[in-house]
Amino acid sequence: MRALLLSLVLTLGACSSTEVQEYAGNEPALTLEDFFQGSLTAHGVLKSRGGTVTRYFNATIEASWDDEGVGRLAERFEFDDGEIQHRNWTLEPQEDGSYKATAGDVLGEGRAETSGNALKMDYVLEVDYKDRKLALNVEDWMWRV
């Protein structure tokens, strides 16, 4: 089973100063169709918009691609406080090399792009918080290591 270092950064509207292209020369290369195949594991953290780590997680991912190049990622997250979350992504390739990223708890469409060993996804995640729904702007980074 391949491992992937994964970091979810909840930015709550903050803008990143890092672009995925800054990792263009890094190896091993992260090609979504090649890497996201079969069973994978991921380990990561959630950070506040100020950069403080707020939670840790381990995840399992079942990944596949269809004949039209559309990817499906079935994720199961287990957080350090015992919470379990599931997310099912659909990744559709775009003409510019990026991917349209959609999931059941994602509002609208997200965007995923790769460069070198890095993947950056931007999306709005709907979460339950104190008996109401919040829309969180998420900047999700993954690095193949």
In the chain, domain spans: 2-143
pLDDT per residue as tens digits for the range 31-42? 999 989 999 999
DSSP letters, 16-70, are: PS--GGGGTT-SS---HHHHS-EEEEEEEEEE-TTS-EEEEEEEEEEEEE-TTS-
What's residue 17's pLDDT? 66
The average confidence (pLDDT) of the chain is 89
What is the separation of C-alpha 44 from the centre of its chain, rounded to a whole number of angstroms? 11
**Given pLDDT bands bounded at 50, 70 and 90, which one contains residue 5?**
very low
pLDDT of 23 strictly over 80: yes
Fold held by 2-143? Lipocalin (2.40.128)
Q: Which two tokens stand for residue 103?
A: 């999931």
Instruction: Report percent pLDDT > 70 for the chain.
Output: 88
What's residue 1's pLDDT? 47
Helix (H) or strand (E) holding 79: strand 71-79
